[in-house]
Structure 1
Amino acid sequence: MGLHVTAWSALWFLPFAAPVCVYVCWSDMRMMKIPNNAVLALTAVFVVVGLIALPLADYSWRLLQLGVVLLLGIVMNATGLVGAGDAKFAAAAAPFIHPGDFIFLMMLLAATLLGAFAAHRLAKYSPLRRMAPGWQSWETGSDFPMGLALGGTLALYLALGAVYGS
């Protein structure tokens, strides 16, 4: 498995981005919201750590990725395809992704989404639910806390990049 992301950049990003990803997963399950402070924190991680982790030319292009994904997310949110928090988180996560890893990332997102959905539904209808009473994601009908899959995907991507990156 050869990823285009360098192990160097993944190792720099991972310890700072992973806690934000965990917070996003937890927050979206608990409140069915991805808070703006998490999106801003993830963006700040890239802005600061990216100066160390990436060559300057790559850094600039990755910031452009944030803008492009944000615009796509706004359109997708306006058409009801995704939630606003999901769109903002995807935009904040975009600069962490090497453009050459896009297809791999989509496959990783699909696998993570399936696993997160199955785990969430199993917990929702099992005694595990009592460990987190009052979480809104238990109470919503068919809605799913997409932040669980999005945060998990970014954290997994960076972890895999740290091990298998170029």
Structure 2
Amino acid sequence: MEFNPVTLPLQGLVFGLLSLPVCLWIIWTDLREMKIKNAAVLALLAIFAVAGFFLLPLDEYLWRYAHFAVVLVIGFLMHVGTGLGAGDAKLAAAMAPFVPLSDATMVGLLYIAWVLSLLVAMTIARRLPALRTAAPGWIWLEEGRGHIPLGVGLAPTLSSYFFIAAAGGI
């Protein structure tokens, strides 16, 4: 299967470079605290608000805010109905404006790949005594935790998408 994102290489490069530090911060805090900070979500939105204004045609730029609203509503319904973390819902909503609707399937497949990989890696890592010693107090390592922090899958999905777009597809 080929991934040929609609997002142009320049858009992917600029969005990718600007959002990478935020995505790394999200991964770090979600691993350590199982929380996605509101400041990180707002930082992603600010990156889109400023860079998107210059990188996208105005009509498309404005339309992408509808993506944010729709994903935010769906995310909060999932939070109430399924227990999806509120931070994960907000992060998904903040990611939505970056992705044109035509690339949503590709981003969904990237997310599945990241989550499955991380599920295996984190299940193995959770059993390593050396990691427990090296990272005391990291909530996801606690006994009895049956789930992984989803922000750890969402953040690299966004970064991967941008860098695939910057490379012109794969």
Q: Shorter-chain TM-score: what band?
A: over 0.9
1:138 aligns with 2:141: yes
Residue from 57, 62, 65 that aligns with 1:63:
65
1:6 aligns with 2:12: no
* Partner residue, 1:112: 114
* Partner residue, 1:153: 157
* Partner residue, 1:128: 131
User: Shift in Å at residue 82 of structure 1?
Assistant: 1.0
Counterparts of 1:53 and 1:137, CA distance in 2: 38
User: Shift in Å at residue 52 of structure 1?
Assistant: 1.4
Does the CA contact (< 8 Å) of 1:13 and 1:53 recur in 2? no
Counterparts of 1:117 and 1:23, CA distance in 2: 20
User: Shift in Å at residue 149 of structure 1?
Assistant: 0.2
User: TM-score when scaled to structure 1?
Assistant: 0.94
Identity %: 39
Residue from 48, 51, 75 that aligns with 2:50:
48
Corresponding letter in the other structure for 2:126 = K
Deviations 1:27-52 (A, max 9, x none): 11100110111111111111011111
User: Shift in Å at residue 128 of structure 1?
Assistant: 3.2
Aligned length: 166
Deviations 1:104-139 (A, max 9, x none): 111111001011111212222122343322100101
Corresponding letter in the other structure for 1:119 = A
User: TM-score when scaled to structure 2?
Assistant: 0.92
Residue from 160, 164, 168 that aligns with 1:164:
168
* Partner residue, 1:96: 98
* Partner residue, 2:30: 28
Counterparts of 2:107 and 2:132, CA distance in 1: 30
Unaligned runs of 5+ in 2: none
Corresponding letter in the other structure for 1:141 = R
Q: Give secondary structure in 1 for the equivalent of 2:82.
A: coil
Deviations 1:73-129 (A, max 9, x none): 111111134110000000000011121111111111100101111121222212234
